Amino acid sequence: MIRFSSLFGTLFVSAGLALAAADASAQMQMQMPMHDHDQHSAMAATSQEDTNALSEGEIKKVDKDTGKLTIKHGPLTNLGMPGMTMAFKVQNPAMLDQVKVGDHVRFRVERINDTFTITKLEASI
C-alpha cells in the first residue's frame, strides 16, 4: 500500500519516469487519462456501427433515364446530411421500378466513388 501511494505521487510529478518504474496494474491506471485524446476516434467507431440504419423519405421523382430517384429525405446520419430534397443514384436499376412518386420509403445511401448511391430501398408503411 505504501509503495502504491508513493508511486501515484510520482505519476503526477513525472509521467514518463512513473511509466518506466510502474508495474502492470499501475500502467493500466495511467492509460485512463491518456485515452482522453481518443474520444474523436471513439465517436467515429460509433457512427460506423449504424451501417444498416435506414433513413425515411418520400419519392418525389423517378428518373429512369439517369437512374436516379429524387427523395425528400430525413437526416442521413451515416453521411451527416440533414433532411432535404435531392436526387440519388440507385445502385440497382430495378429499384426504379420498385417505387413511384408519393411513396414513402426507408432507404440507405452510401457514398460510392464520390456519388451518393441508394444501396437499400424498401417501402415504409
CB contact at 8 A, 96 and 90: yes
d(CA 104, CA 120): 14
d(CA 78, CA 13): 43
Nearest Cα to Cα of residue 85 among 76, 72, 75, 101? 72
CB of 1 to Cu ion, least distance (A): 60
Looking at 1-9, 19-27, 74-82, 117-125, which segment touches Cu ion (CB under 5 A)? 74-82
Pick the binder of Cu ion from 15, 81, 87, 98 (CB under 5 A): 81
CB of 34 to Cu ion, least distance (A): 39
Looking at 29-37, 39-47, 76-84, 103-111, which segment touches Cu ion (CB under 5 A)? 76-84
CA angle 95, 74, 46 (to 5 degrees): 95
CB of 82 to Cu ion, least distance (A): 7
Pick the binder of Cu ion from 86, 110, 119, 120 (CB under 5 A): 86
- Give the residues lining the site for Cu ion (CB under 5 A): 81, 84, 86
